[in-house]
Amino acid sequence: MNAQSLIDSHGRVLRDMRISVTDRCNFRCLYCLPETEEAANFYQSRFGKAPESASRIERHWQPTSNILSFEEIARVVDIAASLGIDKIRLTGGEPLLRRQLEKLVEMIAKIPGIKDLALTSNGFLFASKGRALRDAGLRRVSFSIDSLDRDNFKKMTGRDGLAEVLESIDFAVELGLHPVKINAVMIRGINDHEIEDLADFAIKKNLSLRFIEFMPLDSGRSWHKELVVPGREILERLRKRFVLEPVQVQNKAETAKRWTFPGGCAEIGIIAPVSEPFCGHCNRIRVTADGKIRTCLFSLEEHDLRSVLRGGASDEDVGDYLLKVAWQKEARHHIGEADFVQPQRTMSCIGG
């Protein structure tokens, strides 16, 4: 096995692998799969047109035969760990739709070199699966919660599921997962009026809250820069209401700028890939549910790892392939520039 590290042509050493375990999701969020009547009405009222039909882009779910098996995923993680990957995040789609996910968690948790094993979920099913995941070796979890208002939550996600998500957050804390993070994608005119309320919620629950700028990864191709609430605006509003103490970040590859509240455990982070790109220190690589490697969230090219795995390649061959792909990682994304092209696949297929 190679004793090398995954490094790109810009000198960045890759340590973080995001693995999607399914392209399916039980939510229809405005910023990902805006297929609901509420989504159509919002975009129609703001821009005079509804989102493109997602069926033209997104509704070709991958057949089971194309989805990487748990054994294939664990093999990739084992090889990647030997090349310096030490952080794994399981994503989707909605990863909890993948049956017996705790078996995969257990397999990865046993791999030498993996220091951080996390899950990103919409939280709808976590209350029924969380304990098994924790017992299998899951160390932390992030939930999406874009609104604390039941009606607005349904408008944003296409599902009346706020109560289930809130229950899952409490349960994750009870299970001792730490930190429990909550992610909120801010969209102007939809949920930006809840910025302060979400911060209050994080303080009350001692959670790590991440405000995330709206990115062009929606299936409806309806992203508009006018809908982005810039990170600086979010911070200015928070500072008017709260005393914030900056966190000195040791890892330059962290995506969030972070602040804490005096005397508490809660934390605020702002992830601003549109207005304040952080590509220069990016150390992430992504594997889609159907076994494609994406070296950037906004990559226009995918690398066919599945064919390598199923083509009789040895572990050394797979390692060499990962090294070659890592070297091709893009210098940066081009959101907001004239030459920007939105990826064909959305966040639900890429994996967050």
Q: Would you say residue 3 lies in a domain?
A: no
Q: List the structure tokens of 101.
A: 């996910």
Quick check: is 152 in a domain? yes
Q: What is the pLDDT of residues 196-218, one digit of tens each?
A: 999 999 999 999 999 999 987 65
Q: Is residue 4 part of a domain?
A: no
Q: Is residue 199 part of a domain?
A: yes
Share of the chain above pLDDT 70, in %: 86
Instruction: Look at residue 255 and tell me whether its pLDDT is greater than 90.
Output: no
> Which residue range is the domain that position 153 belongs to?
16-350
Answer yes or no: is 131 within a domain: yes
Number of C-beta neighbours around residue 3 at 10 A: 8
CATH number of the domain at 279, please.
Answer: 3.20.20.70
Domain assignment present for residue 9? The answer is: no
Q: How far is CA 99 from CA 94, 102, 103, 312, in A?
A: 11, 8, 9, 27
Greater confidence, 264 or 139? 139
DSSP 248-266: --S-TT-S-EEEE-TTSS-
- CA nearest to 274, candidates 220, 209, 219, 340: 340
Binning pLDDT at 50, 70 and 90, where does residue 221 land?
low
Task: Give the span between the Cα atoms of 4 and 299, in whole angstroms.
Answer: 24
Domain-embedded: residue 278? yes
- Which residue is listed with tokens 């939280």? 123
The pLDDT score that the predictor gives to residue 57 is: 43
Q: Using pLDDT thresholds of 50, 70 and 90, give the confidence band for residue 133.
A: very high
pLDDT band (50, 70, 90) for residue 45: low
* CA distance readout (Å), 336 to 12, 226, 342: 24, 11, 11
Q: Tell me the three state secondary structure of residue 221.
A: coil
Q: Does pLDDT of 287 surpass 50? A: yes
What's the pTM value of the predicted model, to 2 decimals? Answer: 0.90
- For residue 293, the SS3 value is strand
Q: 2 lies in a domain?
A: no
Query: Is it the case that residue 264 has pLDDT exceeding 90?
Result: no
The number of domains in the chain is: 1
* 162/232 Cα distance (integer angstroms): 28
- pLDDT tens, position by position, 180-201: 999 999 999 999 999 999 999 9
- Tallying the residues shown for the chain, one arrives at 352
The dihedral formed by the CA atoms of 278, 257, 325 and 332, expressed in degrees to the nearest 10: -10
Which of 285, 303, 287, 295 shows the shortest CA–CA distance to 330? Answer: 295
DSSP string, 322-337: HHHHHHT--S---TTS
Place of tokens 């990682």: 329
Residue 220 has a CB neighbour count (10 Å cut-off) of 24
352 — pLDDT class (breaks 50, 70, 90):
low
